[in-house]
C-alpha cells in the first residue's frame, strides 16, 4: 500500500503539469482467491475476468484520459458526466467502475440475506427478497447481448431494478434509470461462458450463493444522503 502511494506521488510530481492532479487507475485488490467462489463461479473465469478483462478496462481508461480534462475528475464524476467524453471513456470507465463494484459484493462467506434498513426497504418495495431476486434475474436474463442488471437507489430514495447495455451503469448521465448502483450483476458472456456456456439463467441462480448482502448494505448505507447522490 505504501509503495502505491509513493508511486502515485511520483507520477503526480513528474508526469503532470504543476497544479493538475491526475488519475492513474489500478485494479482493486480482490478480497479472496480466484478459486474461492467455486463451484458457483469457477477459478478460471475469475482469473481471466479479473486479470484480462478488468485489467484491459483499466489500461484503456488510463490511455483514454491521458492528457485530457477527464484525468482531473474522480471516477464517479466521470460517470456522472460521461456523455461529454469519448466512447472509450464511457466503455472503459464504466468497465472499471462496474467490475470494482462487482468484485466487492462477492464473497466466499457471504451474508445470505439483507438485514437492517435495506431489508425493510426491499420488503416494502418488492414484497420479499425472493421477489427482488426474481426481478434481478429477469433483468439479467432479458438484457440482449452484453450488459448488467442493477439494484439502484434513486435520488428520491427508491430501490429500483434496472439493466444497462455494455459497460453503462446507472450513475451515467446517459442511463435510462439513474441513481447509485448498490448491487450489480455482470451478464456479459465472459462472466459465465466457461462454466455455464449459453445458460445465463443458471449463472444468475448461482450468483446468489456468493452475493454478500453485507456489502450491498454497506453500499446502500453509504449511498443514502451522500454527496454523490446530491450530484445526480
Ligand atoms: Mn465483466
Q: How far is the CA of 167 from the centre of ligand 1 (A)?
A: 8
Q: How far is the CA of 54 from the centre of ligand 1 (A)?
A: 7
Fold assignment, 116-231: minor pseudopilin epsh fold (3.55.40)
State residue 23's pLDDT score: 76
Q: How far is the CA of 131 from the centre of ligand 1 (A)?
A: 25
Q: How far is the CA of 46 from the centre of ligand 1 (A)?
A: 10
What predicted TM-score, i.e. pTM, was given to this entire model? Answer: 0.91
pLDDT at 19 over 80: no
Q: How far is the CA of 121 from the centre of ligand 1 (A)?
A: 28
Q: How far is the CA of 97 from the centre of ligand 1 (A)?
A: 11
Mean pLDDT value of segment 182-196: 98
Q: How far is the CA of 45 from the centre of ligand 1 (A)?
A: 10
Residue extents of the structural domains in the chain:
8-33+41-104, 116-231
Q: How far is the CA of 190 from the centre of ligand 1 (A)?
A: 6
Q: How far is the CA of 79 from the centre of ligand 1 (A)?
A: 17
State residue 42's pLDDT score: 98
pLDDT at 5 over 70: no
Mean pLDDT value of segment 30-38: 98
Q: How far is the CA of 193 from the centre of ligand 1 (A)?
A: 11
pLDDT at 127 over 60: yes
Q: What is the pLDDT of residues 69-87, one digit of tens each?
A: 999 999 999 999 999 999 9
Q: Considering the chain, what is the average pLDDT of its residues?
A: 92
Res. 20 pLDDT band, cuts 50 70 90: low
Instruction: Determine the CATH number of domain 8-33+41-104.
Output: 1.10.287.990
Mean pLDDT value of segment 196-203: 97
How would you class 130 by CB atoms within 10 Å of its CB: exposed for 0-12, middle for 13-18, buried for 19 or more?
A: exposed
Q: How far is the CA of 99 from the centre of ligand 1 (A)?
A: 6
Amino acid at each position: 500500500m505504501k509503495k502505491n502511494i509513493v508511486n502515485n506521488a511520483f507520477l503526480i510530481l513528474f508526469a503532470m503539469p504543476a497544479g493538475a492532479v491526475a488519475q492513474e487507475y489500478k485494479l482493486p485488490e480482490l478480497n479472496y482467491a480466484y478459486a474461492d467462489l467455486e463451484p458457483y463461479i469457477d477459478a478460471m473465469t475469475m482469473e481471466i475476468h479479473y486479470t484480462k478483462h478488468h485489467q484491459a478496462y483499466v489500461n484503456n481508461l488510463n490511455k483514454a484520459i491521458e492528457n485530457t480534462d477527464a484525468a482531473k475528475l474522480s471516477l464517479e464524476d466521470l460517470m456522472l458526466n460521461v456523455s461529454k467524453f469519448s466512447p472509450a471513456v464511457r466503455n472503459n470507465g464504466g468497465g472499471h467502475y462496474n467490475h470494482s463494484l462487482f468484485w466487492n459484493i462477492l464473497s466466499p462467506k457471504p451474508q445470505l440475506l439483507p438485514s437492517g434498513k435495506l431489508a425493510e426497504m426491499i420488503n416494502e418495495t418488492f414484497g420479499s427478497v425472493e421477489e427482488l431476486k426474481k426481478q434481478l434475474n429477469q433483468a439479467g436474463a432479458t438484457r440482449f447481448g452484453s450488459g448488467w442488471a442493477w439494484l439502484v437507489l434513486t435520488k428520491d430514495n427508491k430501490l429500483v431494478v434496472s439493466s444497462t447495455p455494455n459497460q453503462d451503469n446507472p450513475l451515467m448521465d446517459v442511463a435510462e434509470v439513474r441513481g447509485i448502483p448498490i448491487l450489480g450483476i455482470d451478464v456479459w458472456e465472459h462472466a459465465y461462458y466457461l462454466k455455464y456456456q449459453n445458460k445465463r439463467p443458471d449463472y444468475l441462480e448461482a450468483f446468489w450463493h456468493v452475493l454478500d448482502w453485507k456489502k450491498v448494505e454497506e453500499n446502500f448505507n453509504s449511498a443514502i444522503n451522500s454527496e454523490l447522490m446530491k450530484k445526480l
